[in-house]
Structure 1
Amino acid sequence: MVTSNHEAAHRIIQEHPEVLSAIFELLCLPLPADASFTVVTPDVTEMRPVERRIDTVLRIDPPERESFLLAVESQGKKDLDKPSSWAYYVGFLAAKYKLPVMLLVVSQNRATSRWARGPFGFGPEGCHTLTLHPATAGPDNIPRITNPADASANIGLAAFAATIHAHDETPSDILDALAGAFVTIAPERAIDYSELVEAGLADTKAGEIWRHLMAIARTPDGSTLIGAARLEGREEGREQGVLEERRRVVLLLLSNRGVPVSDEACERVTACTDPDVLARWLERAARVQDGDQLFDEDE
């Protein structure tokens, strides 16, 4: 299981590189949706006793366009020494692989993300030999995804955005949307993403909310489980597990939003056995102001 919040965003990118198309679109950078991705060694150590390592390096091969390398770096706070390291990484990778290099800096801090955008000049003042213009992904340009339907449309981006907004003052709507979207995907995939998000949120207020939402249990090897009912290995138990999870998330989403729910409304949700109806109620739960409004469009 992932244990480092520093590593979570990189694991999402490395294991689910399809999320990059959505991230690039948000950053107004062109990248065809059908580009292929290859993980490249991040080691940029030279033949001397100094180790240098980039967080993530991917080779991107867009169809009918020149391939390039994407170097991804996490940055927690402003560090005046870091731009020179980034410049070294870009120069080293370009020389080693004979490919253009793009640098993407990921940060959970809004001010750090803006600072990391540069530009950073290297050389005498007024006559820079090299100018570095990193792309950045942070709370200032990665949106808060607060609708379960939007989260379901791109689970990878929703998970990445949740980790980026780890220090948001009101994270519940982001996490509720992501948790709600999990009921639409396979349990194994939901478990994978839930562990990555948990690692990315770490010991923040958002992390505490997320652990509550996921009703976390642990196996002997320390891996995370989401909702005991969904984790039945037997196929015959899975449908009932999904129903129970959807009922739970509908009521939990209303509770976290502070929406009043009558006993009658609660009983109607917990008695529902139609997964499509529960899916509709889940989407409405993100916007209604009273629990009884869940059923208005069905009557």
Structure 2
Amino acid sequence: MAISPEHQIYSELFSDSPDMAVEFLRGLGARIPEYERSEITSCDLGHVDPVERRSDVAIMLRGRGPTDPFDRLMGIVVEVQRDEKARKRFTWPEYVAALRARHECPVTLLVICPKQSVADWYAAPIELGHPGLVLRPLVIGPKDIPVVTDPGTVSASPTLGVLSAAAHGTKKTDVLEALHTGLDAIDPEDAAKYIGYSLHLLAGTDGQKALEALMMANTFDYHSPWVDSLRAEGEAKALLRVLARRGIEVPGEARERILRCTDEETLDTWLDRSVTATTMDELFAE
């Protein structure tokens, strides 16, 4: 089964920031050992059927143990679930057992659900059949994701900022403002990636429109294909509005030329000319 872009984005966020999974587990009451570092480990559980037998993200916590200063202390299986699938109640125990057997350390299951109703459904304990053997998934839904309104928090943990925006950005614009401002302080390429993730997770919502409006304000001091195309689209639409207000007819071919243009300098020139031009020929003059 093909993995959706939304599913992949959530997985990438936890791959980028394994310690974020640890903080969520602590918030859910899980006992976490004192560790020196966290790292992504193999998700392949050794079956010939990788689609059905591969966790989304597998994390290993390492620290001082009896024989090694970076011993394997604890594994974390992170699963992203967008809808209810009864089959997961059978495969998740296998994920936990396989990672535990491979690394000979305790393993915890963390499930991330973009919808609260799905999170509530997955929180039910999984009875394995053997007396007393029960797996209780630790599940994160939107209500468990903090409302991040501090740009400094976003700068320190961009992945948490994206999760907060996806969970709360449709109703809380201060979350989007914090994301927008906080990402301006990190590496431009990373900022572009996380803005792209956020816009995709907010697709079709008022949150997407609000975040786009913030980006169009030209306060982001970086460029990416996504952001540049968005700004160009905004300038093109503004240009068409000016021409319409001035009563200048814009034939279909000219409209398409304006909307297809992605060069900001050219669009700026056309926008300046639109104030005095009386024909499209004057607007497009070389």
For normalisation by structure 1, the TM-score amounts to: 0.61
Distance in 1, Cα, partners of 2:197 & 2:145: 18
Partner residue of 1:120 out of 123, 126, 140: 126
Other-structure match for 1:147: 150
Please tell me the root mean square deviation across aligned C-alpha atoms, in Å: 3.4
Q: Secondary structure at the match of 2:159?
A: helix
CA shift digits 1:53-77 (9 cap, x unpaired): 2111111114568612111111112
Distance in 2, Cα, partners of 1:203 & 1:112: 20
Q: How does 1:36-115 map to 2 (within 5 A)?
A: 36-47=37-48, 51-63=52-64, 67-115=73-121
Cα pair distance change 1:138/1:186, threshold 3 Å: same
Other-structure match for 1:5: 6
Q: Secondary structure at the match of 2:38?
A: strand
How far residue 114 of structure 1 moved from its aligned partner, in angstroms, is 2.3
- Please, which runs of 5 or more residues in structure 1 have no aligned partner? 230-299
Q: Which has the larger radius of gyration?
A: 2
Distance in 1, Cα, partners of 2:83 & 2:191: 31
Residue type at the aligned position of 1:190: A
Of 81-90 and 204-213, the range deviating more from structure 2: 204-213
Query: Are 2:164 and 1:158 aligned?
Result: no
Distance in 1, Cα, partners of 2:26 & 2:187: 26
CA shift digits 1:224-278 (9 cap, x unpaired): 347999xxxxxxxxxxxxxxxxxxxxxxxxxxxxxxxxxxxxxxxxxxxxxxxxx
CA contact (8 A) 2:96 2:108 kept: yes
Query: Are 2:141 and 1:138 aligned?
Result: yes
Cα pair distance change 1:34/1:97, threshold 3 Å: closer
Cα pair distance change 1:45/1:156, threshold 3 Å: same
Partner residue of 1:224 out of 214, 223, 226: 226
Aligned residues: 219
CA contact (8 A) 2:36 2:63 kept: yes
Higher relative contact order (CA 8 A, sep 6+): 1
Other-structure match for 2:171: 170
Distance in 1, Cα, partners of 2:33 & 2:174: 31
CA contact (8 A) 1:19 1:157 kept: yes
CA shift digits 1:133-168 (9 cap, x unpaired): 1112221211221333443453332223223x06x6
Distance in 2, Cα, partners of 1:50 & 1:159: 27
Residue type at the aligned position of 1:93: L
Distance in 1, Cα, partners of 2:195 & 2:88: 31
Distance in 2, Cα, partners of 1:195 & 1:118: 33
CA contact (8 A) 1:216 1:225 kept: no
Residue type at the aligned position of 2:55: I
Distance in 2, Cα, partners of 1:172 & 1:57: 33
CA contact (8 A) 2:33 2:73 kept: no
CA contact (8 A) 2:170 2:205 kept: no
Of 29-38 and 111-120, the range deviating more from structure 2: 29-38
Cα pair distance change 1:62/1:161, threshold 3 Å: farther
Cα pair distance change 1:73/1:187, threshold 3 Å: same
Distance in 2, Cα, partners of 1:47 & 1:227: 42
- Give the percent of matched residue pairs that are identical in Structure 1 and Structure 2: 25
Other-structure match for 2:183: 182
For normalisation by structure 2, the TM-score amounts to: 0.64
CA shift digits 1:183-204 (9 cap, x unpaired): 3333233223223323433444
CA contact (8 A) 2:110 2:139 kept: yes
